[in-house]
Structure 1
Amino acid sequence: MTRLLVRLFLLLAVVAGLIGAALVWYAQRPLQWSGDAVEYTLRPGTALRQAARQIEAAGVPVDGRLLGLIGRVAVDGTRLQAGSYAFNSGVTPLELLGMMTRGDVSMREVRFIEGWTLKQIRTALAASPDLKQDAAALSDAELLAQLGSDATFVEGWFFPDTYLFAAGDSDLSILKRAHHAMRAQLEQAWAARAPDLPYASLQDALIMASIVEKETGAAADRDKVASVFVNRLRAGMPLQTDPTVIYGLGERFDGNLTRAHLQTDGPYNTYLRRGLPPTPIAAPGRASIEAALNPAPTRYYYFVARGDGSSVFSKTLAEHNSAVDRYQRRPARAARN
């Protein structure tokens, strides 16, 4: 009987060794399929065995039972990280599990452009089929509350940048990241600002930066554009900037800014009202924030576009009128003739 037990034990050991060797071979065997990467989203709280079956059902040619067994033996299956993954042909079961243990998620991206309004940002978020639309139905006031912001307006408070996210993430999470990034950029620039600027708060600086963003055609002119508007604020002159009027018109603006528009009063008509408009008119980038808080030390009060993206700056109204005649009125008359 003892000899029989020994033989049985040896047989079981051999079988276990063969099974173990087969499992090791399978764990390191590349999984091959034709076509694109297979995408799989692991939801929080999903058990290893369930995840293995889901991966097989998603289109990865792997035996879900063996994948689950490898996960229990070779990796800590309790440490799988939720997220979206992209598995390419040639990945081994062990590599696949390693990706999920490390959290090597596949990322999407959404980009916010300098000078975009909140409406344009919302449109970009809504266009992504991989985002949960949690913020889409929120009013501006509700969005501010969700952001936990002490700002009095929401326009302009989202830093233009490229934001990476995993499929299934919330649009609100991206807006929160963009809001925190804008506050960080503003606070950093505010701490290093020029002395005696005519701003009472970060929000004033953000409003000015948004105007600089929309008014600057050439990057080299940015700090001089800022200086014009800062000099006007200091002198108590109206800012007289078209982009604020256009923003105030909203959907009524058809691409043609008329004299009637400039003569119609409204909170964003900086031809008729002195000081800053009530909110930003767009989301400024870092360069415009820097220019608003460190404008060039000039005595310029006017500027006019040359037509090539750059501007001509003037100290007096007479100089400005001469520049307008040279770069706008004469070319316009020549074009009509």
Structure 2
Amino acid sequence: MGIALAVFAAALVAVIILVQNLVAGTEPADYAGPGGDATTFEVEQGWGAIQISRQLLADDIVASDTAFLEALESNTSGTSEIHPGSYELKKQMKASDVVSVLTAEGPAVSYIAISENSRKNEVYAKISEATGVAVKEISAFDTKGTQFGLPATVKSLEGYLHPGEYRFPLDTPIKDIIQEMVTKTLDELKRVGITDPAEQYRILKVASILQGEATAKDYPVVAGAIENRLDPNNTETNGLLQLDSTVTYGLGTRSLQFTEEQKQDASNQYNTYIHKGLPPTPIGSPGNSAIDAAADPEENDYYYWVTVNIETGETKFSKTYAEHQGYQQEFRDYCAANADKCK
């Protein structure tokens, strides 16, 4: 399938080039080279040949996107694959010279993109993909938080691996890569005024739950509801968070569905239907907006929330379980009509 897709992509590029040349009626514009001022060109994750060509043109690295696409199509190096990362180029280069740089062994840096709500195993896989270092070797750092300036009470790096785009020089030690992610998390916590290590860990737990339970616009409201559930005087849920996102984290899945037996399973330490209070660790890497909301939750009287439309993220809040049950039925009706969205 991969070969078929590559052939299809190459054919598509060729068709685009042919059409552009027929329309123009001339050979595509190209610089003579070797180029002028040095510049760093960034290839982002997910960019294809056409998007790369347009950005090269916008940055005045090539004279035309068509010249670049033609050079890429006729590349004699045996590959047309361009990896995400930073490349040292020059302004006004010959298109074939640009292709030679971009299709060489790889970029000048290791490029790592971490999405919000990524779990530690997903982050370690991304680091491995970018560096070529085995996941097992990377994950060995997971229980060594003190090496990264974290207290000994932190038994896992979950939650501290800040989401974002990272570019590291090739052969950067894994410890240094992880340290930058942890440092960014600690910097964000300090930015919102959270400096006590124990409170930092608590905020990361809440923020990671917000990432798994709500959309960004609802983070402050959900954060307030979580604090209501954690209140020692809470008689509505009696200290239980009752969160699907923590249960599925403990199960090692991301499915919206789990069985009643799994819901009652006390062996799952992340089962907040059984165990009171916050889970043992964060359940993913929270972004800045989730950290903001966790540090400054909205004051409200809500204890319950449910997203009734997964496509739009519409979430409804309630103060009583009876009201919440009505919204739960609304969600079940939605799932009945949109089974593919509620897997």
Q: TM-score range with shorter-chain normalisation?
A: 0.5 to 0.7
1:322-337 matches, cutoff 5 A: 322-325=326-329, 327-332=330-335
- The aligned residue for residue 228 of structure 1 is 225
- The aligned residue for residue 210 of structure 1 is 208
The number of residue pairs the alignment matches comes to 236
Give the direction of change, closer, same or farther, for the CA distance of 1:187–1:263 in structure 2 (3 Å limit). Answer: same
**2:186 equivalent among 178, 183, 188:** 183
CA contact (8 A) 1:238 1:275 kept: yes
SS in 1 for 2:203: helix
Give the % identical residues: 29
Give the direction of change, closer, same or farther, for the CA distance of 1:324–1:87 in structure 2 (3 Å limit). Answer: closer
- The aligned residue for residue 293 of structure 1 is 295
CA contact (8 A) 1:212 1:225 kept: yes
Amino acid at match of 2:181: A
Give the direction of change, closer, same or farther, for the CA distance of 1:334–1:226 in structure 2 (3 Å limit). Answer: same
Task: Compute the RMSD of aligned alpha carbons.
Answer: 3.4
TM-score where L is the length of structure 1: 0.62
Amino acid at match of 1:309: G
Given the alignment of the two structures, is residue 219 of structure 1 paired with residue 216 of structure 2, yes or no? yes
SS in 2 for 1:128: helix
**1:268 equivalent among 255, 267, 270:** 270
- Mapped to 2, the partners of 1:129 and 1:264 lie a distance apart of 39
CA-to-aligned-CA distance 1:171-229 (integer Å, 9 cap, x gap): 32121011011011112223499xxxxx962211111111111111x321111111111
Given the alignment of the two structures, is residue 169 of structure 1 paired with residue 178 of structure 2, yes or no? no
- Mapped to 1, the partners of 2:186 and 2:230 lie a distance apart of 24
1:243-258 matches, cutoff 5 A: 243-250=245-252, 256-258=257-259
- The aligned residue for residue 314 of structure 2 is 310
- Mapped to 1, the partners of 2:277 and 2:139 lie a distance apart of 33
**1:116 equivalent among 109, 115, 118:** 118
- Mapped to 1, the partners of 2:252 and 2:264 lie a distance apart of 16
Q: Unpaired segments of 5 or more residues in structure 2? A: 1-31, 40-85, 94-106
Q: Unpaired segments of 5 or more residues in structure 1? A: 1-29, 38-83, 92-104, 194-198
CA contact (8 A) 1:131 1:170 kept: no
- Mapped to 1, the partners of 2:176 and 2:120 lie a distance apart of 15
TM-score where L is the length of structure 2: 0.61
SS in 2 for 1:281: coil
CA-to-aligned-CA distance 1:305-336 (integer Å, 9 cap, x gap): 121212000111121112222x2233455679
CA contact (8 A) 2:192 2:292 kept: yes
- Mapped to 1, the partners of 2:229 and 2:115 lie a distance apart of 28
- The aligned residue for residue 140 of structure 2 is 138
Give the direction of change, closer, same or farther, for the CA distance of 1:87–1:304 in structure 2 (3 Å limit). Answer: closer
CA-to-aligned-CA distance 1:115-164 (integer Å, 9 cap, x gap): 0111010000000147798952525223x243242251321111111112
Q: Which has the higher helix share?
A: 1
- Mapped to 2, the partners of 1:246 and 1:311 lie a distance apart of 20
Q: Alpha-carbon deviation of 1:165?
A: 1.4
Give the direction of change, closer, same or farther, for the CA distance of 1:31–1:227 in structure 2 (3 Å limit). Answer: same
Amino acid at match of 2:320: T
CA contact (8 A) 2:246 2:270 kept: yes
Amino acid at match of 2:159: G
Give the direction of change, closer, same or farther, for the CA distance of 1:306–1:137 in structure 2 (3 Å limit). Answer: closer
Amino acid at match of 1:257: F
